[in-house]
């Protein structure tokens, strides 16, 4: 195995729950106890929750989806926008109430909010009933903190410096069919509005050999799909000086022969022609790219520190469309960044009209404490922000529907993931282009890639029939 920097790579061994002494009889302490795990935020957090779940299971806990039945509550939080933050504090209120009835309930808060400036002191002062606070750099401290929680009033361990690069982590994964695989931690881009480089630290790429080994293992276990995760996957390897980059990683992963490879998120600035060529070359690399635009105005893009302008984005977009047949491209857009004028917003709409994205996540700008943009006067009124968001969503949804309608009566390959929760006579899955599709049919197709005829297209999903 080739580790680029052994000092940085911390290896975990089988069933390593990272406790100081292995003298504990976990079964005697936690057997029969239940945990409730709630995850906010992006795929990165959902994948971290799969690590948390593994630790809790090794300790002897079993999962419950009912807060009221739990003995341990873990909130894995997100800090990307103010409303994410508010939701967590709202939920803490519910937990506080429950703790009044259930004195032994252990309440733990982890994730990006724990890393946010001021949150730890806010919890210390206003939420003394929270037992454990752990950060994104020390998820593996959680088992030890749970074991010790009674010894301390509040057990808080949040590292402000970025952690190691972890290899060989064990997960209790959500799915047996499709798996997330971290290829890097943190982010170096420091877009001026974004809190992620502060909550997740600087970029640290995992060793290429270790990633490939993990994926080979997943394939052996029967997984059909992997999604490579990173805040900026195209910058993979840049911090390692090992001479490999994202295209090399993609190529090695494609050669493992796993059926489907996806990756999020792509940053336009680091997207090279060679990467596009590799995506186009391998059939098992899915023709789907999430390519955040954020704004179509050069002036705002500069204020956001995004490192590309409208023309560069469009050039990249067109290259991808030309080289990768039937590719679908989705995006993220922020409206109401400080100083955004109607003209700036029209530039954003113009890019949407040109690109006709398959779909887009759209957000109202939310100032985050500690980020450079939070020092710029937030001078666009909430009314204007809301009105722009609504106008943008109308256009975005129109193109989503148009793109989807074009698929009607076509036959597509679908990886079927599970039963439809609302309708047991249906199953759902995703097309190669990452479109959600509900299919008439039984459970026998779950975990398979099947041909499906699209019978009806909507803005946010498709309906299909097995053929």
Kindly tell me which of 199 and 330 has the beta carbon lying closer to ligand F3S: 199
The residue from 138, 178, 199, 265 that contacts ligand F3S (CB under 6 A) is 199
Helix, strand, coil content of the chain in percent (nearest 5): 40, 20, 40
Kindly tell me which of 35 and 40 has the beta carbon lying closer to ligand F3S: 40
Q: Binders of ligand SAH: how many residues, by CB under 6 A? A: 17
How many whole angstroms separate alpha carbon 421 and alpha carbon 104? 33
Task: Check if the beta carbon of residue 330 is closer than 8 Å to that of residue 357.
Answer: yes
- Beta pairing class for 462-466 and 436-440: parallel
Is there binding between residue 278 and ligand SF4 (CB under 6 A)?
no
Range in contact with ligand F3S (rule: CB under 6 A) among 3-11, 174-182, 196-204, 444-452: 196-204
259: nearest Cα among 99, 447, 401, 36: 447
- Beta pairing class for 184-185 and 204-205: antiparallel
Kindly tell me which of 92 and 275 has the beta carbon lying closer to ligand SF4: 275
Kindly tell me which of 42 and 401 has the beta carbon lying closer to ligand F3S: 42
Kindly tell me which of 80 and 207 has the beta carbon lying closer to ligand SAH: 80
Residue nearest to ligand F3S (CB): 41
The residue from 37, 119, 194, 211 that contacts ligand SF4 (CB under 6 A) is 194
Length of the chain: 467
Is there binding between residue 303 and ligand SF4 (CB under 6 A)?
no
N-to-C CA span, the chain:
45
The residue from 164, 274, 332, 463 that contacts ligand SAH (CB under 6 A) is 332
Is there binding between residue 228 and ligand SF4 (CB under 6 A)?
no
Range in contact with ligand SAH (rule: CB under 6 A) among 117-125, 173-181, 190-198, 428-436: 190-198
Range in contact with ligand SAH (rule: CB under 6 A) among 142-150, 233-241, 310-318, 358-366: 358-366
Q: Render 371-408 in DSSP notation, one character per residue.
A: SGGGGS---S-HHHHHHHHHHHHHHHHHHHHHHHHTTT
Residue 199 CB, nearest distance to ligand F3S (Å)?
A: 5
- Dihedral-angle region of residue 298 (phi above 0 means left; psi in -120 to 50 means alpha; beta otherwise): alpha
Binding mask 30-69 for ligand F3S (x = CB under 6 A): -----------xx-xx------------------------
Range in contact with ligand SF4 (rule: CB under 6 A) among 20-28, 182-190, 245-253, 283-291: 182-190
The phi, psi pair for 238, rounded to 5°, reads -60, -30
Kindly tell me which of 138 and 199 has the beta carbon lying closer to ligand SF4: 199
How many whole angstroms separate alpha carbon 181 and alpha carbon 162? 19
How many whole angstroms separate alpha carbon 456 and alpha carbon 467? 15
Task: Check if the beta carbon of residue 401 is closer than 8 Å to that of residue 458.
Answer: yes
How many whole angstroms separate alpha carbon 265 and alpha carbon 196? 13
**Largest pairwise CA distance in the chain:** 66
How many whole angstroms separate alpha carbon 380 and alpha carbon 378? 6
Residue 169 CB, nearest distance to ligand F3S (Å)?
A: 17
- Beta pairing class for 411-419 and 449-457: antiparallel
Is there binding between residue 232 and ligand SF4 (CB under 6 A)?
yes
The residue from 85, 173, 247, 368 that contacts ligand SAH (CB under 6 A) is 368
Is there binding between residue 112 and ligand F3S (CB under 6 A)?
yes
Continuous segment of H or E residues that includes residue 29: helix 26-30
Kindly tell me which of 82 and 221 has the beta carbon lying closer to ligand F3S: 82
Is there binding between residue 267 and ligand SAH (CB under 6 A)?
yes
The CA R_g of the chain, rounded to the nearest whole Å, is 23
**Of ligand F3S, ligand SF4, ligand SAH, none, which one sits near residue 190, judging by CB under 5 to 8 A according to partner kind?**
ligand SF4
CA distances from residue 69 to 45, 143, 445 in whole angstroms, order as listed: 24, 20, 34
The residue from 9, 78, 95, 109 that contacts ligand F3S (CB under 6 A) is 78
Residue 80 CB, nearest distance to ligand F3S (Å)?
A: 4
Which residues are CB-contacts of 160 (< 8 A; sequence separation ≥ 6)?
115
Is there binding between residue 366 and ligand SF4 (CB under 6 A)?
no
Token digits for 393? 């969503």
List residues binding ligand F3S (CB under 6 A). 41-42, 44-45, 78-80, 112, 195-196, 199-200
List residues binding ligand SAH (CB under 6 A). 80-81, 193-194, 196, 231-232, 265, 267, 292, 294, 332, 334, 363, 365-366, 368
List residues binding ligand SF4 (CB under 6 A). 187, 189-191, 194, 196-197, 231-232, 267
């Amino acid at each position: 195995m080739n580790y680029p920097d052994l000092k940085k790579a911390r290896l975990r061994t089988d069933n390593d729950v990272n406790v100081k002494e292995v003298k504990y009889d976990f079964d005697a302490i936690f057997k029969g106890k239940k945990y409730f795990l709630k995850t906010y935020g992006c795929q990165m957090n959902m994948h971290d929750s799969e690590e948390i779940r593994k630790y809790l299971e090794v300790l002897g806990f079993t999962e419950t989806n009912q807060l009221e039945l739990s003995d341990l509550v873990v909130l894995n939080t997100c800090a990307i926008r103010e409303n994410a933050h508010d939701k967590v504090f709202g939920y803490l209120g519910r937990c506080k109430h429950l703790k009044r009835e259930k004195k032994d309930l252990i309440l733990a808060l982890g994730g990006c909010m724990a890393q946010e400036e001021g949150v730890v002191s806010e919890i210390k002062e206003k939420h003394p009933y929270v037992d454990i606070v752990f950060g994104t750099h020390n998820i593996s401290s959680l088992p030890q903190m749970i074991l010790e929680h009674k010894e301390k009033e509040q057990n808080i361990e949040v590292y402000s410096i970025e952690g190691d690069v972890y290899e060989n982590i064990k997960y209790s994964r959500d799915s047996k069919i499709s798996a997330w695989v971290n290829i890097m931690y943190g982010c170096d881009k420091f877009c001026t509005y974004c809190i992620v480089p502060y909550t997740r630290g600087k970029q640290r790429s995992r060793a290429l050999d270790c990633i490939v080994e993990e994926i080979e293992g997943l394939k052996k276990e029967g997984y059909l799909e992997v999604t490579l995760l990173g805040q900026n996957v195209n910058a993979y390897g840049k911090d390692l000086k090992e001479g490999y980059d994202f295209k090399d990683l993609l190529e090695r992963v494609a050669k493992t022969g796993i059926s489907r490879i996806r990756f999020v998120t792509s940053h336009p600035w680091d997207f090279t022609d060679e990467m596009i060529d590799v995506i186009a070359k391998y059939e098992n690399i899915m023709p789907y790219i999430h390519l955040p635009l954020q704004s179509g105005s050069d002036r705002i893009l500069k204020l956001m520190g995004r490192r590309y302008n409208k023309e560069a984005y469009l050039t990249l977009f067109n290259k991808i469309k030309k080289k990768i047949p039937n590719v679908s491209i989705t995006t993220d857009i922020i409206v109401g960044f400080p100083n955004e004028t109607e003209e700036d917003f029209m530039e954003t709409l113009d890019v949407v009209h040109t690109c006709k994205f398959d779909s887009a996540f759209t957000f109202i700008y939310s100032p985050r404490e500690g980020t450079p943009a939070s020092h710029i006067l937030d001078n666009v009124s909430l009314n204007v922000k809301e009105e722009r968001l609504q106008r943008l969503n109308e256009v975005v949804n129109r193109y989503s529907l148009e793109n989807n309608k074009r698929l009607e009566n076509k036959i597509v390959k679908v990886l079927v993931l599970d039963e439809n929760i609302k309708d047991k006579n249906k199953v759902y899955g995703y097309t190669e282009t990452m479109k959600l599709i509900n299919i008439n049919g039984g459970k026998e197709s779950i975990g398979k890639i099947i041909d499906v005829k699209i019978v009806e297209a909507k803005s946010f999903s498709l309906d299909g029939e097995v053929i």
